[in-house]
Chain A
Amino acid sequence: MNEQQTLFDFMRQQSDKLAAQTLQHIGLTFISLFLAVLIGLPLGILITRQRKLSGPVLGVAGVLQTIPSIALLGFMIPVLGIGAKPAIVALLLYALLPIIRNTFTGITGVDPAVKEAAVAMGMSRWQVLFKVELPLAMPVIFAGIRTATVITVGVATLASYIAAGGLGEFIFGGISLNNTNMILAGAIPAALLAILFDFLLSRLQKLNIQKLKTTTATLPLFLLLFSSFYFIPSAYGGKLTAGFTPEFMGRQDGNLGLQSKYKLKIHTIVISDAVMYKAAYENQLDVISGYSTDGRLEAYNLVVLKDDKGIFPPYYAAPVVRDDALKKFPELESTLNVLSGKINDSVMTALNYRTDYLHQSPEKVAKDFLIKISLWKPARNGNMGIVRIGSKIFGEQYILASMYSMLIKGYTDYDVATKTGLGGTKICFDALTNNQIDFYPEYTGTGLLAILKPSSKTIDSLTLSKDKTYNYVQREFKKIYNIKWLKPIGFNNAYALMMRKKQANDLNIKTISNLKRYLESK
Chain B
Amino acid sequence: MIKVEHLSKHFGKIKAVDDISFEVKEHENLILLGTSGCGKTTTLKMINRLIEPTHGKIFIDDKNIQEQPPEILRRGIGYVLQNNGLFPHYTVAENIAVVPQLLKWDKKRIERRVSELLEKLHLSPDCLHVYPAELSGGQQQRVGLARALVADPAVLLMDEPFGALDNVTRSKIHAEFNALDELKRKTIIMVTHDVQEAFELGNHICLMDKGKIIQDGTPAELLFNPANDFVCDFLNEQRLQLEFKTIKLNDIWQWLPLLQKENKAKSLSADTDLWSGLEQFKFTLSETIAIHHGNSETKSASFEQLMAAFYHYKKQQAHE
Contact = CB atoms under 8 A, between A and B. Distances in A.
7 contacts: A113-B83, A113-B84, A121-B79, A121-B102, A123-B102, A136-B89, A209-B88
Interface in A135-163: 135-136
A123 B147 CA distance: 14
Given A120-B48, A124-B71, 16 more contacts: A111-B88, A113-B84, A114-B86, A114-B87, A116-B50, A116-B85, A117-B84, A117-B85, A118-B87, A120-B50, A120-B77, A121-B74, A122-B72, A122-B102, A127-B102, A209-B131
Given A121-B75, A123-B71, A124-B71, A210 B89 contact: yes
A209 B83 contact: no
Sorted nearest first, the 6 A-B pairs with minimum C-beta distance are A117-B85, A122-B75, A122-B74, A120-B79, A209-B89, A113-B85
B50 A136 contact: no
How many interface residues does chain B have, given as a range?
Answer: 20 to 34
Contacts of A127: 102
B50 A117 contact: no
Given A122-B74, A123-B102, A124-B71, A117 B89 contact: no
Contacts of A124: 71
A122 B99 contact: yes
A117 B87 contact: yes
B81 A121 contact: no
A119 interface: yes
A117 B79 contact: yes
A119 B74 contact: yes
Name, among A116, A120, A135, the residue most crowded by chain B CB atoms within 10 Å (CB to CB).
A120
Interface in A230-279: none
Contacts, number: 62
B88 A136 contact: yes
Contacts of A114: 85-88
A121 B83 contact: no
B87 A120 contact: no
Nearest to A124: B71
A128 B147 CA distance: 16
Contacts of B99: 121-122
Contact of B81 (A116, A135, A210): A116
A328 to B, nearest CB: 86
Interface string B71-107: 1111111010111111111000000001100100000
A132 interface: yes
Contacts of A121: 74-75, 79, 98-99, 102, 147
A113 B73 CA distance: 19
Contact of A113 (B48, B71, B81, B147): B81
A59 B233 CA distance: 54
A127 B102 CA distance: 9
The SS class assigned to the B binding surface is loop
Identify the interface centre among A117, A123, A136: most chain B CB within 10 Å of its CB. Answer: A117
B74 A120 contact: yes
Contacts of B89: 135-136, 209-210
Count chain A CB atoms within 10 A of each CB in B83, B84, B131 and give the residue with the most.
Answer: B83
Contacts of A136: 87-89
A122 B77 CA distance: 9
Interface in A143-194: none
Interface of B: 48, 50, 71-77, 79, 81-89, 98-99, 102, 131, 147
B254 to A, nearest CB: 48
A380 to B, nearest CB: 86
A118 B72 CA distance: 13
B93 to A, nearest CB: 13
Contacts of A111: 83, 85, 88
A136 B89 CA distance: 7
Contacts of A122: 71-76, 99, 102
Nearest to B83: A113
Which of B74, B75, B76, B89 has the most CB atoms of chain A within a 10 A radius of its CB?
Answer: B89
Given A124-B71, A210-B89, A117 B102 contact: no
B89 to A, nearest CB: 4
Query: In the complex, which of the residues B50, B86, B98 has the most CB atoms of chain A within 10 Å of its own CB atom?
Result: B98
B69 to A, nearest CB: 9
A131 B89 CA distance: 9
A117 B86 CA distance: 7
A89 to B, nearest CB: 35
A120 B131 CA distance: 21
Contacts of A135: 89
Nearest to A113: B85
Nearest to A119: B50
Contacts of A120: 48, 50, 74, 77, 79, 81, 85
A117 B74 contact: no
A135 B75 CA distance: 22
A116 B74 CA distance: 12
A131 B95 CA distance: 11
Nearest to A114: B85
A443 B159 CA distance: 87
A263 B76 CA distance: 80
A118 to B, nearest CB: 7
Interface in A188-221: 209-210
Nearest to B79: A120
Contacts of B77: 120
A113 B50 CA distance: 12
A132 B87 CA distance: 7
A136 B131 CA distance: 14
Nearest to A117: B85
Contacts of B88: 111, 114, 136, 209
A131 B75 CA distance: 16
Contacts of B102: 121-123, 127
Contacts of B86: 114, 117
A113 B161 CA distance: 13
A209 B88 CA distance: 9
Nearest to B147: A121
Nearest to A120: B79
A519 B206 CA distance: 92
B143 to A, nearest CB: 11
B128 to A, nearest CB: 14
A215 B102 CA distance: 24
Nearest to A115: B85
B119 to A, nearest CB: 22
A384 B79 CA distance: 102
Nearest to B76: A122
Interface string A381-420: 0000000000000000000000000000000000000000
A107 B229 CA distance: 47
Contacts of B71: 122-124
A127 B89 CA distance: 15
The listed residue with most A CB atoms (<10 A of its CB), out of B71, B79, B85, B147, is: B85
A96 B82 CA distance: 38
A124 B101 CA distance: 13
